[in-house]
Amino acid sequence: MTEHVNRREFIVSTSAAALGAAAGRKVRASEQGVPKAFRSPSGTLVPYDREDLFRGGAQRSFSGPALAEIAFPLGGIGTGTVSLGGRGQLRDWEIFNRPGKGKVLPFTFMALWARAEGESPKLRVVEGPLQPPYAGGFGFPRSSAQGLPRFQGARFTGAYPFARIDFEDAALPVEVSLEAFNPFVPMDVDDSSLPVAIFHYRLRSRSPRPVELALAFSILNAAGYDGLARLGSEEWEGFGGNLTRVRTEPVGGRPVVGLDMTSTKYWADSPRSGSIVLATTHPTATARPVWEGRDWFDSFQKWINEFGAAGRFAERPPAEPSENGRSTYGSLAPTLRLAPGTSATVTFLLAWHFPLRENTWNREPEVKGQPLRNDYGCRFASAWDVARHAAERLEQLEARSRAFHDALFGSTLPAHVLDAVSSQASILRTNTGLLLEGQRFFAFEGCGDEGGCCPMNCTHVWNYEQALAFLFPSLERTMRETDFLVNTRPDGSMAFRTLLPLGRALWKFRPAADGQMGSVLKLYREWQISGDDAFLRRLWPRAKAALEYAWTSWDKNRDGVMEGEQHNTYDIEFYGPNTMMGTLYLGALKAAAAMAEAVGDPESAITYRRVFESGRTKHEILWNGEYYVQRVPSLQEVQPLLSASDEPWHANAVVDGQLRYQYGAGCLSDQLLGQWLSTVVGLGHVLAPEHVGTALQSIYRHNFRHDFYEHPNAQRLYALGDEKGLVLCSWPRGERPALPFVYADEVWTGIEYQVAAHLVYEGHVAEGLAVVRGVRDRYDGRRRNPWNEVECGSHYARALASWSVLLALSGFSWSAPERRLAFGPRVGEGDFRCFFSAGTGWGVFSQRIAPREGFTASVATRYGEVGLRHLHLANTPRWPGATLRSATGPDGDAITGASVRLDGNVLAIDFGAEVVVAEGQTLTLDLAQSKPA
Amino acid sequence: MTEHVNRREFIVSTSAAALGAAAGRKVRASEQGVPKAFRSPSGTLVPYDREDLFRGGAQRSFSGPALAEIAFPLGGIGTGTVSLGGRGQLRDWEIFNRPGKGKVLPFTFMALWARAEGESPKLRVVEGPLQPPYAGGFGFPRSSAQGLPRFQGARFTGAYPFARIDFEDAALPVEVSLEAFNPFVPMDVDDSSLPVAIFHYRLRSRSPRPVELALAFSILNAAGYDGLARLGSEEWEGFGGNLTRVRTEPVGGRPVVGLDMTSTKYWADSPRSGSIVLATTHPTATARPVWEGRDWFDSFQKWINEFGAAGRFAERPPAEPSENGRSTYGSLAPTLRLAPGTSATVTFLLAWHFPLRENTWNREPEVKGQPLRNDYGCRFASAWDVARHAAERLEQLEARSRAFHDALFGSTLPAHVLDAVSSQASILRTNTGLLLEGQRFFAFEGCGDEGGCCPMNCTHVWNYEQALAFLFPSLERTMRETDFLVNTRPDGSMAFRTLLPLGRALWKFRPAADGQMGSVLKLYREWQISGDDAFLRRLWPRAKAALEYAWTSWDKNRDGVMEGEQHNTYDIEFYGPNTMMGTLYLGALKAAAAMAEAVGDPESAITYRRVFESGRTKHEILWNGEYYVQRVPSLQEVQPLLSASDEPWHANAVVDGQLRYQYGAGCLSDQLLGQWLSTVVGLGHVLAPEHVGTALQSIYRHNFRHDFYEHPNAQRLYALGDEKGLVLCSWPRGERPALPFVYADEVWTGIEYQVAAHLVYEGHVAEGLAVVRGVRDRYDGRRRNPWNEVECGSHYARALASWSVLLALSGFSWSAPERRLAFGPRVGEGDFRCFFSAGTGWGVFSQRIAPREGFTASVATRYGEVGLRHLHLANTPRWPGATLRSATGPDGDAITGASVRLDGNVLAIDFGAEVVVAEGQTLTLDLAQSKPA
């Protein structure tokens, strides 16, 4: 141990390396189980059935043990959520301005009472059967109401924002299903940020006789709950003064009846102050606002006795507010009668209103404990107000949400891609996101079990996210405003996390090279999506400073390559040239050049392009023939280090004379991060295109593991055993550092989506689909919750990169400044349909190729409007001199003056003038192969 | 709702009742699945395969999902435990003087390193594969070491006190199994109360080449841990000054090497003060007392790098105590080399020493926070001291434990009965029990997740327990001393819970009728088991007062029937005559009469017998032809009530002019509780024998449910869905009260065992076995932990009634005063073997019947000695005038002077003088049918 210590410690010995990623069992379990694994056109192994991998159509459904982990979040942007469990139960009550994994409200459940004429009544909790374990030191918690009979089976299907459960019990005279949702209308922030969950219970008689029915929704009055305490009953010190009243109000011509749940315990300026409403639009109902009895099990026993016998609750005088330390349960029970062969829908609205939150996540004295007002708190005065609004607009909210659902799921894209794309769009509407006064969007990286993690608007994590940018661009723009107008210091360095409320202080940690460069790219994206020149001009000076900060820090010699200390999304610093930072830097330079020109600063544009060109060439020294590596500098080169930080998680890269946390010769999954982002925002290649494709293939080949049986990992565990997943890095040629960068051995869905989309963009479609499939198979309801991909917390924002897979598969791009809409389907281009969103409107793009006969394409707007001058179509028939047989405009009339030309593989249609396709309208093109004259 | 309100509220309507126990699905799933269900001799349905139900032999084993809930407790009486999980992991660290369900020590795991000559090394955590879910907001916890490769399969077999796991991984050059235990030697308190867990890892080569091996046991230095905090790493505010040293000491001629883990943070008088030792008796080992590296994942990464490469740890200079707020991890790695075809065992000892605990469970100021000293804290100075002691006596401790194991599991009793009996004997050695200074035993009812529940020596719950009484009678006697010498007030009323330390104050709540009467019966039992007249005389005056307290309270008219307010184990009060209290009272009277005579108080004996006879007759008014009911008095009759208590859980029986919490016309599973206990202690019948048998059959028929699909239960949930279990009460003839006694709809294993044993005693063997099987099928490793039956807490003492099933099946009884040992096998009497324990010794009773040839019986003592004058054998061939062919005494010589006679179905052998069968000796009898002259 005396000589060559440095070398020996830096590079682990061969035998230990053999334990690592390079080792593999002779027989891989996953291949044994997939006899139909196939080779992609590039010759790499894809461990799935090809047909299944490309299959479109219905979403997967879940039953039995696969229901266990399902928690489908119901809530709007910035409102928090309550989740629908796989069995039909409500779980994870996160409506109290904080995450609350595992938090349940006692005795909050739906019960069905059914009596076919001449038979005895049947009582069922409308939930599927519980799955083991049934453990619990005092038995299975009785407050789950598992003591009541329940259905024998349940099948869950989720197509965000809609969840559906089909319940089954042969002994009942009715069939029961549930559909639950919260309105989700891309680009409509108002309609997509309502603190409400809507439940449609559908009942269909299968009895030859009339059936009397009642559905009792029981709920704890949780006003005053802090979202943290583990509630086992109605007793909790934070309760008191809880009052539940039955309230009836005609809304839009029909009576709405509900339980209005309030508490008098907290002043209005307390974050604990608020209300909850459980309402129904059903015309007939009985209610028991406060269950009777308080000793032992009396109240639930009396509830069973009364509702079980008669399916209704007798009226009682109004209750008083509860005593201190207790709340109460209530039930609302619509009643109905079904004639043989008929069916009915009973709708419940669960609305909440907790307008204030406080900053519980920062320790900086300027912001710690400061109050913040939810946007919905400005729009509504109470939960009843929310419920009234939702009831009034119920049909419209549902129709618009369904329009989005249909546009997305009516696609021909592979079903598992739509699953990935849609399920993770829910992240925007969990406690990961905040929508504060004025519809300003802020976001954690993700959700800890009880608090956001980590605050706030983290530039490098949000580099990966694409869904907000394309679905709610106005909100994404507020993030750029925060980035540049708030967090960018005069020297151009950016605080890469945001302290709320704004304007009190900036976060003090060193800037992040990836986050900062990414922000410049994202500003370009927001400008391209919105076409808002004023917005660009307003932010440009700071964006320019942020970009040029690189020249005083990371790239002091302005050669287009970062050599300095590059703090990044792995929470450590890279040193020396690497293409992960490099491509973000190159992309930022390219974006900045375009923006500089647009704002009238051509000199900067020239400079940026010069640096870009230099960097583009110089990064090629990192090419090893297979992928791009990092050139790790010597210890002398990295000195002096920036001073140590007082962030407890941060550790210096140099310790005991060793430089640690680099990747060196490794194959990094993020090595083309900036290239991917540049492609997404429409900037094209920033590195040699042929190397990009090869590098992506190498990433797939080396980093996509078909199982994790032999993957020693000292780090965090996101994939285990027989699962498939893409590791962040591997060292296929050896030279794994003794202490590689933290997270190197982990599997992050956000990076998987980024790489998957990039593979698709570069034409490696099967590989891209396989990576997506690997993710979603890990989230199968039994292992993990399909609607919650985790990384450093639940509902982790990086997973919003999934949206880019849709962009890549549809070959979508949109430039509002140029009014240019582009598609280039990469799967099923002969008969293709896909959702698109273009700044001011969204809808469905479709194309159909009839060989030798014709080619039709259409752009149908389902919301807002899309104004376009150019339509570029790639992956169409490459007919020399194709002619436009017809172009039918939104008003159904022929568009005249449109020209078409084939530019490489792109069919470029120029309409000559802007064509506005408004909501409900369709633009149709019909091309024919030009006939030989 | 205007008339007959009382009646209507008391008796629920027919339609609601139809939702209750009386209703059933037309097709019971459980019968569909059991085509071999059969009718017992009494004609009742037994929903099991008969052959399987009676099967003896091997214990069930567990694999796959059935490993998930397994936690096999390793620890001695009053020492706390750490549990071996089904996969081989250590879980539920409860060695810190409190329960700690779910508490794990980070990075505490066993790893195997194996390198067959010429091959690359393999690293495995010695655990079976993880089962889903893999959820967790930050991934699956990395501190589980699930990031390392592990075995592909594990099969767990438990035969308390021994647990065995066979691991499987085809890729390894060795086979690996684990046997873990804590010494358990009935009647030897010293050897059964050691704070240690012993692990034998057995390695067998299956390689044709030599294999180098190392087993690294890694562990957090948890000295100073409070047993409460959820540890995710070595960082916790309670840590600091943690020091782990490698210590070697020759013990019994071999070196013992270990990690001695201490903390300097706490003074010796703190309950947090203590030490832990991980030691091995293996001759060669390397160790790393403190893992290196502290930032990010460095320490585990370095561990993998070093141990993974070489299977050993290089030496380092001794470490300093850890800084405040942190502890450290260490590893101890025995090394060995296996030649082809050879095997070896590597033994680890995990010892702990936390000598002090404090009363954290009482709020009474006299005792709250008071220190209590564990008995083991008086015997040992440190964990090293414990480890040395255990290492010195390792072979002996194991041999004696194995002798018990072999005596118990070598039985011909049905395997699932042995499973029930043995697994629940573990309760005595969990945190349910305390063994304080002077080997005084105290006990909670069970364990909450983080604290005992409820304190202490609760007389009514411990009425059901039999295992301690028969296996560790000296400890059981300390409970009687506490009952009578401490808790019995001058007026004869008993505090039915104990405040510790003793002598500070008595618990103030009203006495419990069942607990108080049961204590008199239990005193009789202890006297019968021990033959200790001095003990009886010492306790008798208080026992007499306790019995006669009935005459000033529950049975003021001394007619042998309790009419007054009878607080009981259901935590409510019964009013009016009922046989649950009644049989306990009758049994107590009968027991007291015998004890009065023995202490020279014949007048009391006469009085007690007179009251007994009166009561015995009068209780028959409660017979409804099928079972015994309760006569619920009118509201007027029960006035005045005792004053309300300030115990928060207690509720008065009368509210709103209604008497609640009675059972009335119900069929109560506990209706013969006192009869069962009387039978167990050898007092025979206290009610009409023909009614007893019929009532038990009725309990089985009405209360043993074949599934719980349609069992509406507002109470706690111990059986669900397709499970089978015995409910506490049912109302087969209707008249279910609107608010029956709390717990009426629950399923308690302690009562199931009580009823099962009683069914067997009364000859309904198949029904009894079915009830036991129902319990054990609910504890199948997937639903619940087989080594933890829960009621009001884990490891609930009532489940110790299971021991009575063994007593009943073997027909065992023992009267030390009369030196009379009795057996009467009720299963497989033709070839029968069963464990027995008789006060001063234990062993195996066996009998074999060869039709027409002969009958042999033997009593083999395996521990201590058994001195007997009489041996009574029931269920033998009833040969008129059978002759004793031979009686071979313990010394191998013939016993002369023995006589034999047939008394009913009992073959009574009188040896004329005491025959002492000492450890290792056997008494053998050989009988022949008398030949016609």
The number of beta carbons lying within 10 Å of the beta carbon of residue A888 is 16
Strand partners, B256: B249
Pick the more confident residue, A265 or A6. A265
For residue B26, pLDDT over 90 is answered with no
**Chain B residues within an 8 Å CB radius of A778:** 134
CA separation for the pair B857, B863 (Å, rounded): 19
In the block, residue with structure tokens 């593989």: A905
CA separation for the pair A549, A494 (Å, rounded): 9
Tell me which of B13, B138, B777, B785 to substitute to probe the interface with A (most A C-beta atoms closer than 10 Å): B138
Using only C-alpha atoms, what is the Rg of chain A? 29
Can you say whether the dihedral through the CA atoms of B234, B235, B239, B240 is positive or negative? positive
Chain A's closest residue to B449, CA to CA, is A137
Picking from A129, A138, A152, the nearest residue to B792 by CB comes out as A138
Pairing state of beta strands A854-874 and A820-823? parallel
The amino acid that residue B382 corresponds to is S
B15 touching A, CB under 8 A? yes
B118 touching A, CB under 8 A? no
Give me the helix-helix angle, B473-481 and B533-548, nearest 10°: 40
Q: Is B297's CB within 8 Å of A139's CB? A: no
B809-860 per-position pLDDT tens digit:
999 999 999 999 999 999 999 999 999 999 999 999 999 998 777 899 999 9
CA atoms within 13 A of residue A692's CA, in its CB half-sphere: 24
Q: Is A304's CB within 8 Å of B745's CB? A: no
A454 touching B, CB under 8 A? no
Helix, strand, coil percent content, chain B, rounded in steps of 5: 25, 30, 45
- A353: closest CA of chain B, how far (Å): 26
**Interfacial A residues in 732-751 facing B (CB < 8 Å):** 738-739, 742, 745-746
Chain B's closest residue to A744, CA to CA, is B297
Tell me which of B739, B747, B748 to substitute to probe the interface with A (most A C-beta atoms closer than 10 Å): B739
Q: Residue A842 has what DSSP assignment?
A: E
Return the pLDDT at B192: 98
Q: Which two tokens stand for residue A408?
A: 């997305």
Q: Measuring CA to CA, how many Å separate A161 from each of A348, A415, A804, B765?
A: 17, 16, 19, 58
As a whole number, mean pLDDT of residues B14-26 equals: 40
On whether the CB atoms of residues A857 and A917 are closer than 8 A, the answer is no
Tell me which of A172, A295, A299 to substitute to probe the interface with B (most B C-beta atoms closer than 10 Å): A295
Q: Which two tokens stand for residue A305?
A: 């006795």
- Residue A871: closest CA among A820, A800, A830: A820
Q: Is B794's CB within 8 Å of A716's CB? A: no
Chain A's closest residue to B299, CA to CA, is A714
As a whole number, mean pLDDT of residues B410-431 equals: 98
In the block, residue with structure tokens 């704890």: A220
Return the pLDDT at A10: 39
As a whole number, mean pLDDT of residues A673-683 equals: 98
Q: Is B645 left (phi over 0), alpha (psi -120 to 50) or beta?
A: beta
The string of DSSP codes covering B756-807 is HHHHHHTT-HHHHHHHHHHHHHH-SSSSS-TT---BSBBS-GGGGGGHHHHH
**Chain A residues within an 8 Å CB radius of B797:** none
**Interfacial A residues in 769-788 facing B (CB < 8 Å):** 778, 782-785
Report the Cα B202 to chain-centroid distance in Å.
29
As a whole number, mean pLDDT of residues A385-402 equals: 98
A580-592 per-position pLDDT tens digit:
999 999 999 999 9
Return the pLDDT at A636: 87
As a whole number, mean pLDDT of residues B900-922 equals: 92
For residue B273, pLDDT over 70 is answered with yes
Q: Is B16's CB within 8 Å of A308's CB? A: yes
CA separation for the pair B405, A919 (Å, rounded): 79
As a whole number, mean pLDDT of residues B587-599 equals: 98
CB-based burial of residue B930 (10 Å sphere; 0-12 exposed, 13-18 middle, 19+ buried)? exposed
Q: Is B783's CB within 8 Å of A15's CB? A: no
Pick the more confident residue, B913 or B19. B913
CA separation for the pair B327, B299 (Å, rounded): 13
CA separation for the pair A103, A182 (Å, rounded): 20
As a whole number, mean pLDDT of residues B733-748 equals: 97
As a whole number, mean pLDDT of residues A621-650 equals: 88
For residue A12, pLDDT over 60 is answered with no
CA separation for the pair B487, B505 (Å, rounded): 9
Binning pLDDT at 50, 70 and 90, where does residue B887 land?
confident
- Residue B530: closest CA among B476, B483, B479: B476
On whether the CB atoms of residues B94 and B789 are closer than 8 A, the answer is no
Q: Is A139's CB within 8 Å of B738's CB? A: no
Picking from B25, B314, B713, the nearest residue to A1 by CB comes out as B314
On whether the CB atoms of residues B202 and B68 are closer than 8 A, the answer is no
For residue B3, pLDDT over 70 is answered with no
For residue A200, pLDDT over 90 is answered with yes
B13 touching A, CB under 8 A? yes
- Residue A178: closest CA among A165, A190, A195: A165
On whether the CB atoms of residues B156 and B165 are closer than 8 A, the answer is yes
Tell me which of A716, A780, A788 to substitute to probe the interface with B (most B C-beta atoms closer than 10 Å): A716
End-to-end CA distance of chain A: 84
Pairing state of beta strands A153-159 and A162-168? antiparallel
**Interfacial A residues in 342-371 facing B (CB < 8 Å):** none
Which ranges constitute the DSSP H helices of B623-748? 635-638, 673-680, 689-703
**Chain B residues within an 8 Å CB radius of A13:** 309-310
Q: Which two tokens stand for residue A382?
A: 């109470």
The number of beta carbons lying within 10 Å of the beta carbon of residue A205 is 22
Q: Is B149's CB within 8 Å of A300's CB? A: no
Q: Which two tokens stand for residue B401?
A: 């434990």
For residue B78, pLDDT over 80 is answered with yes
A859-906 per-position pLDDT tens digit:
999 999 999 999 999 988 777 677 788 888 888 888 888 888 888 889
- For B281-313, give one letter per residue: b (16+ CB within 10 A) or e: bbeebbbbbbbbbebbbbbbbbbbbbbbbbbbb
Q: Pseudo-torsion of CA B686, B692, B696, B701, nearest 10°?
A: -150
Q: Residue B80 has what DSSP assignment?
A: -
As a whole number, mean pLDDT of residues B791-805 equals: 98
For residue B908, pLDDT over 60 is answered with yes
Which ranges constitute the DSSP H helices of A436-578? 467-471, 473-481, 513-530, 533-548
Chain A's closest residue to B713, CA to CA, is A147
Return the pLDDT at B853: 72
For residue B12, pLDDT over 50 is answered with no
Strand partners, A371: A358
Beta strands in B452-564, from DSSP E residues, in sequence order: 452-453
Helix, strand or coil, per DSSP, at residue A202: strand
As a whole number, mean pLDDT of residues B120-149 equals: 95
As a whole number, mean pLDDT of residues A101-129 equals: 97
**Interfacial A residues in 23-52 facing B (CB < 8 Å):** 23, 25
As a whole number, mean pLDDT of residues A70-92 equals: 98
Return the pLDDT at A905: 85
Q: Pseudo-torsion of CA A260, A261, A264, A265, nearest 10°?
A: -170
Q: Is A716's CB within 8 Å of B139's CB? A: yes
The amino acid that residue B291 corresponds to is W
Contacts 24+ apart (CB under 8 A), A43-51: A44/A697, A44/A700, A44/A701, A44/A767, A45/A706, A46/A766, A46/A767, A46/A770, A47/A706, A47/A724, A47/A770, A48/A769, A48/A770, A48/A773, A50/A766
Q: Is B794's CB within 8 Å of A137's CB? A: yes
Q: Is A123's CB within 8 Å of B23's CB? A: no
- A22: closest CA of chain B, how far (Å): 13
Average model confidence (pLDDT) across chain A: 94
The amino acid that residue A533 corresponds to is D
Which residues 6+ apart lie within 8 Å of B854 measured at CB?
B885, B926, B927, B928, B929
Average model confidence (pLDDT) across chain B: 94
For residue A175, pLDDT over 50 is answered with yes
**Chain B residues within an 8 Å CB radius of A71:** none
Tell me which of A10, A67, A107, A134 to substitute to probe the interface with B (most B C-beta atoms closer than 10 Å): A134
The amino acid that residue A360 corresponds to is T
Q: Is B68's CB within 8 Å of A133's CB? A: yes
Q: How many CB pairs under 8 A join A and B?
A: 241
Chain B's closest residue to A131, CA to CA, is B783
**Interfacial A residues in 474-513 facing B (CB < 8 Å):** none
Q: Is B716's CB within 8 Å of A138's CB? A: yes
Three-state secondary structure of B29-51: HHHHCCCCCEECCCCCEECCCHH
A446 touching B, CB under 8 A? yes
Return the pLDDT at B931: 58
On whether the CB atoms of residues B676 and B465 are closer than 8 A, the answer is no
Least confident of A19-23, B367-371, B907-911: A19-23
Q: Is A720's CB within 8 Å of B68's CB? A: no
Picking from B123, B134, B714, the nearest residue to A301 by CB comes out as B714
Q: Is A739's CB within 8 Å of B298's CB? A: yes
B651 touching A, CB under 8 A? yes
CA atoms within 13 A of residue B164's CA, in its CB half-sphere: 11
Chain A's closest residue to B660, CA to CA, is A298
Return the pLDDT at A903: 84
